């Protein structure tokens, strides 16, 4: 019996990396691209919020309560106590980003250890 050997084509040139596949799928779905851009922008704002916020969160301006957006010195206006809405928004994003980065791995790992997702236990669930 004779053995026939056939030369194999090189597979290194035609291989598609995972990154290329992901980018191709994203290009086909414009809503995913828009969602990614919005989430990335929110993340950048959260990281830069200490430098973007023009005022302290607790600083009040009683002369300008309920100021509309675009008021001089208050880009997004003020609330009922005269606090800057932009500063409050940036501070909230920063806190959520900081707390979320700590709590997510903790809850995920505790859910995996117990064998059930963390959302099935706790206050408000039965």
Per the listing, tokens 């919020």 go with 49
Pick from 40, 36, 15: nearest CA to 25: 36
Domain residue ranges in the chain:
29-115
Per the listing, tokens 């691209």 go with 33
- Phi and psi at residue 123, to the nearest 5°: -65, 140
Structure tokens at 24: 């191709």
Q: What is the pLDDT along the chain (126 residues), one digit of tens a residue?
A: 666 665 655 555 456 898 898 888 888 998 988 998 998 988 888 888 888 888 888 898 899 999 999 988 888 899 999 999 988 888 877 776 666 655 555 555 555 445 445 555 555 555
């Amino acid at each position: 019996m004779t053995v026939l050997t056939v030369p194999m084509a090189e597979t290194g040139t035609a291989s598609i990396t995972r990154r290329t596949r992901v980018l191709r799928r994203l290009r086909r779905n414009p809503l995913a691209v828009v969602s990614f851009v919005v989430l990335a922008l929110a993340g950048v704002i959260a990281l830069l919020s200490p430098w973007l916020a023009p005022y302290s969160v607790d600083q009040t301006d009683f002369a300008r309560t309920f100021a509309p957006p675009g008021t001089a010195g208050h880009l997004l206006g003020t609330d009922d106590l005269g606090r800057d809405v932009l500063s409050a928004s940036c501070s909230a994003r920063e806190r959520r980003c900081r707390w979320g980065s700590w709590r997510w791995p903790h809850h995920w790992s505790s859910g995996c250890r117990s064998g059930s997702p963390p959302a099935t236990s706790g206050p408000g669930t039965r």
